[in-house]
Amino acid sequence: MAENYFIEDCEKLETLAPITGAPIERHVFVCTGKSCSAVESAEVKSAFERELISRKLLFGKKKKGKNPAGSIVLTECGSVGFCAVGAAVMVYPDGIWYAQVRPGDVAEIVEEHLLNGRVVERLALLKIPSQGKIPASNADQQQWEA
Amino acid sequence: MAENYFIEDCEKLETLAPITGAPIERHVFVCTGKSCSAVESAEVKSAFERELISRKLLFGKKKKGKNPAGSIVLTECGSVGFCAVGAAVMVYPDGIWYAQVRPGDVAEIVEEHLLNGRVVERLALLKIPSQGKIPASNADQQQWEA
């Protein structure tokens, strides 16, 4: 692709990026930076993949076992500043940052948050936009509303 | 860190993850997957870093030239399905996915979207949550409201 080549045709763009035609509801990021990797973030991401595929929620190509009409995108990402409290998992557009996530926590996040819209409070540490204050451990549900 | 070690103390968590005390407004992801890298996504990320640092918006450590009270987090990420229309840049919690972003577009995204809340429509290709339809090229502003 030449550097200045710019596609304006919407149908062409949809063909090139089928995700634009999918009913995406949420985007889940799993940090695979150095510190998070040291506490099993690759396994956390694999657990999300397995759990979301088994529920037909994971957007992606059919030949990879995913669903072209899935509602969740799963992506790995670099360090987000949760290095000492990883593995970090972010759920957008909700803006919920989970800390200290282990593979065994993934089914609960999928079931509670991604399916039922209820934030898993025991793991949620930050909500963006943030007022710059950490919530008390007994933060009310409104704070974490998905 | 032992696998089952779990920190519950909020003050300790805030010390370990200073980002929880910062007034974060937006999280910008730049895809550095293979296809996006081939169209200068590393340079796009560097351009965001320069632009955000010069405006004191980029959250991070002071010794790295960033701002511990910055309002923007910048993170690289893996492929998101915009491989043929990269470089992909996502702005959350707004849920705006920009396509075909070049380093020369970054100042406009920072000025218009991150500072003034106006989506750069000529580059915006997807808004999450999505209804599964690509917007017409003359999509009204409401579609892209940040």
Residues 6+ apart with CB under 8 A from B53: B65, B66, B67
CB-based contacts of A32, cutoff 8 Å, min separation 6: A41, A42, A45, A76, A77, A78
Mutate to test the interface with B, among A30, A128, A137 (most CBs of B within 10 A): A128
Widest CA span of chain B, in angstroms? Answer: 54
Chain A residue with the nearest C-alpha to that of B138:
A10
**Residue bearing the bigger pLDDT, B116 or B135:** B116
CA distance B31 to B10: 32
3-state secondary structure of B98: strand
Q: How large is the ipTM? A: 0.91
Return the higher-pLDDT residue of B137 and B40. Answer: B40
Q: Give residue-wise pLDDT tens across range B13-32.
A: 889 999 999 999 999 999 99
pLDDT in tens, chain A (146 residues): 444 578 988 889 889 999 999 999 999 999 999 999 999 999 999 999 999 999 999 999 999 999 999 999 999 999 999 999 999 999 999 999 999 999 999 999 999 999 999 999 999 999 999 977 655 544 455 677 77
pLDDT tens for residues A101-128? 999 999 999 999 999 999 999 999 999 9
Q: Do B79 and A84 touch (CB under 8 A)?
A: no
